[in-house]
Structure 1
């Protein structure tokens, strides 16, 4: 199931290993992941792409 929409997930983000069903869900996962890294003081560049 998609981590964002709870729909059946066809895809898995290779960076976070989270399942997602839509491009919007993927974008949200990456945005939240980037936010998490910044709060932890970790700079991995732009991982939202």
Structure 2
């Protein structure tokens, strides 16, 4: 009986892993789109070494 319980637990473990790998994605990232650049552009002197 103990062996059958252990095999059942092992089967459940692998079944859940396979379902998680091959199941639909559960990513819940917000769709934010393209974000505008709001930083400072480098000065012309920063590129003078090229």
**How high is the TM-score relative to the length of structure 1?**
0.41
Larger radius of gyration: 2
Which structure has more strand as a fraction of its residues? 1
Query: More relative contact order in 1 or in 2 (CA 8 Å, sep 6+)?
Result: 1
**How high is the TM-score relative to the length of structure 2?**
0.40
Which structure has more helix as a fraction of its residues? 2
